[in-house]
């Protein structure tokens, strides 16, 4: 009799299928939970720049471009306007202080001087006539006073005599009273004449003082006008090189117009333009340096011009020590201008990454060098070669410093 064979529930094949499925599911779950889900991008190592983070002395400075100019420049401006009548010298020559350079004609100024001279002459005549009239009046008043004094003395004698006669009844009361009234009348007239003489003297003195002051002002005004006439001849203010001289015979020049300039060639300085962003951080005394003729030369800011023109302001820098030999007026120099003191810092070389990240993050290489991951950092000061790292990087770490434009927003770069 045949025996029924039971079919096995867990065959090796079935066990193998379940085992493989379980392992696959476990791997999927593990990858979902613990796997690396960051976006990746394959990058060729030859197409990027890698730099190491270092620690060392850091000097913050900015590059500026300056031009060599004479140590002193004096501008020639027309103090008075006029037409160019004579030209004594041409531009490009050495001049001495006081040398005549140019002569102008100004008819209006000449007429003004003639008018002032006539007014001065008239005022002088008025003063002289006033003094003469005052002297004559003084003599007349003094004559009147003398005459009154004589009359008073005569009338007093008659009055005193009649006073005795009336007591003796030798003259009438009427004659006595008349002599008394005449005497008192002339005494009062004399007092009035004296007061009038004093008042007239005071008035005449004040009048003469005013006329003399007016005459003095007119004389000074005339002197100033004649000085203006002297200013029609433009002279060299200092000894030096007449760099520019813009004037031609017959040309009209207005008052205050720039005509030329004289440069002192005994020394040079550098005038540099700086971006207005740095104005609060620039002051006299700051130092800079530049390379010239195989050597490094030091400069120091002597003057800051705070006026902003086209987003820039100017500074004057003078050489520390002797000027470099062979330097010439108008030459361009590239200056490294210091903005802070030398200090120890964590440093990262500059690169194209800054344009994309603004210094907020970088790609840092793993120790194996096979990949680089994104990391947030904080940068501080900077110069044309280095950034100062404040947070996020340590000495010895390697960073991709070339441009990130082709990396998109990937979190990891796989280096090939």
The pLDDT tens digits for 283-293 are 999 999 999 88
Q: Is the pLDDT of residue 1 over 60?
A: no
CB 399 within 8 A of CB 363: yes
β-pairing verdict for 233-235 and 54-58: unpaired
Domain boundaries, the chain: 37-60+343-415, 61-102+235-339, 108-230
**Rounded CA separation 245/262 (Å):** 9
10-16-22 Cα angle (round to 5): 105
The mean pLDDT of 55-83, rounded to a whole number, is 88
What pLDDT is attached to residue 38? 56
Q: Is the pLDDT of residue 9 over 60?
A: no
CATH class of 61-102+235-339: mainly beta
**Rounded CA separation 105/83 (Å):** 5
Q: What is the mean pLDDT of the chain?
A: 83
What pLDDT is attached to residue 26? 64
What pLDDT is attached to residue 335? 92
The mean pLDDT of 395-411, rounded to a whole number, is 89
CATH class of 37-60+343-415: mainly beta
**Could you tell me if residue 57 is left (phi over 0), alpha (psi between -120 and 50 degrees) or otherwise beta?**
beta
What pLDDT is attached to residue 349? 93
- pLDDT tens-digit readout, 362-386: 999 998 888 899 999 999 888 888 9
C-alpha 312, offset from chain centre: 13
Quick one: what percent of the chain has pLDDT higher than 90?
Answer: 22
Give the lowest-confidence range in 14-23, 26-35, 84-93, 226-235. Answer: 26-35
The interaxial angle of helices 107-167 and 173-230, nearest 10 deg, is 170
What pLDDT is attached to residue 65? 93
Q: Is the pLDDT of residue 302 over 90?
A: yes
Q: Could you count the other beta carbons within 10 Å of the beta carbon of residue 304? A: 15
Identify the bridge partners of residue 351 per DSSP, sorted by sequence position: none
Q: Hey, what are 413's tokens? A: 């770069």
Q: Is the pLDDT of residue 3 over 60?
A: no
CB 258 within 8 A of CB 244: no
- pLDDT tens-digit readout, 173-184: 888 788 888 888
Q: Could you count the other beta carbons within 10 Å of the beta carbon of residue 245? A: 21
Q: Is the pLDDT of residue 66 over 90?
A: yes
Give the lowest-confidence range in 4-8, 42-46, 222-226, 295-299. Answer: 4-8
Q: Is the pLDDT of residue 270 over 80?
A: yes
- pLDDT tens-digit readout, 152-206: 888 888 878 887 887 778 778 888 788 888 888 888 888 887 887 778 777 777 7
Q: Is the pLDDT of residue 352 over 60?
A: yes
**Could you tell me if residue 285 is left (phi over 0), alpha (psi between -120 and 50 degrees) or otherwise beta?**
left
**Rounded CA separation 326/363 (Å):** 48
Q: Is the pLDDT of residue 228 over 80?
A: no
Q: Is the pLDDT of residue 391 over 80?
A: yes
The mean pLDDT of 390-409, rounded to a whole number, is 90
Q: Is the pLDDT of residue 253 over 80?
A: yes
Give the lowest-confidence range in 36-45, 107-116, 345-354, 380-389. Answer: 36-45
pLDDT grade, residue 315 (50/70/90)? very high
Same fold, 37-60+343-415 and 61-102+235-339: no
Residue 9 vs residue 158, higher pLDDT: 158
What pLDDT is attached to residue 321? 81
β-pairing verdict for 312-319 and 258-275: antiparallel
Q: Hey, what are 77's tokens? A: 């401006």
**Could you tell me if residue 47 is left (phi over 0), alpha (psi between -120 and 50 degrees) or otherwise beta?**
alpha
């Amino acid at each position: 009799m045949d025996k029924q064979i039971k079919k096995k529930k867990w065959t090796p094949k079935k066990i193998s299928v379940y085992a493989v499925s379980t392992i696959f599911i476990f791997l999927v779950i593990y990858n979902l939970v613990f796997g690396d889900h960051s976006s990746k991008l394959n990058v060729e190592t030859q197409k990027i720049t890698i730099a190491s983070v270092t620690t060392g002395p850091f000097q913050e400075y900015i590059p500026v471009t300056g031009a060599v100019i004479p140590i002193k420049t004096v501008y020639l401006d027309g103090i008075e306007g006029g037409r160019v009548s004579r030209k004594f010298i041409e531009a490009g020559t050495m001049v001495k202080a006081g040398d005549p350079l140019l002569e102008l004609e100004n008819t209006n100024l000449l007429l003004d001087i003639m008018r002032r001279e006539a007014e001065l002459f008239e005022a002088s005549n008025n003063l002289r006539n006033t003094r003469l009239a005052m002297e004559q009046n003084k003599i007349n008043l003094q004559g009147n006073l003398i005459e009154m004094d004589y009359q008073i003395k005569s009338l007093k004698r008659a009055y005193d005599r009649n006073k005795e006669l009336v007591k003796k009844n030798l003259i009438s009361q009427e004659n006595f009273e008349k002599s008394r009234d005449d005497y008192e009348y002339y005494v009062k007239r004399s007092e009035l004449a004296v007061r009038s003489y004093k008042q007239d003297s005071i008035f005449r003195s004040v009048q003469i003082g005013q006329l003399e002051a007016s005459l003095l002002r007119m004389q000074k005004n005339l002197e100033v006008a004649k000085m203006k006439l002297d200013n029609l001849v433009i002279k060299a203010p200092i000894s030096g090189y007449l760099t520019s001289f813009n004037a031609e015979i017959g040309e009209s020049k207005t008052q205050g117009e720039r005509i030329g300039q004289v440069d002192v060639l005994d020394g040079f300085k550098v005038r540099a333009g700086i971006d207005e962003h740095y104005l609060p951080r620039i002051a006299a005394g700051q130092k800079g340096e530049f390379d010239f003729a195989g050597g490094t030369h030091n400069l120091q800011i002597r003057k800051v011009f705070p006026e902003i023109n086209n987003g820039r302001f100017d500074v004057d820098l003078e050489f520390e020590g002797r000027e470099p030999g062979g330097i010439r007026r108008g030459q361009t120099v590239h200056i490294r201008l210091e903005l802070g003191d030398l200090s120890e810092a964590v440093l990262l070389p500059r690169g194209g990454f800054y344009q994309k990240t603004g210094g907020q993050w970088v790609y840092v290489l793993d120790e194996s060098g096979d990949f680089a991951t994104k990391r947030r950092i904080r940068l501080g000061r900077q110069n044309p070669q280095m950034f100062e790292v404040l947070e996020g990087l340590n000495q010895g770490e390697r960073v991709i410093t070339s441009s990130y434009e082709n990396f998109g927003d990937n979190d990891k770069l796989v280096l090939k």
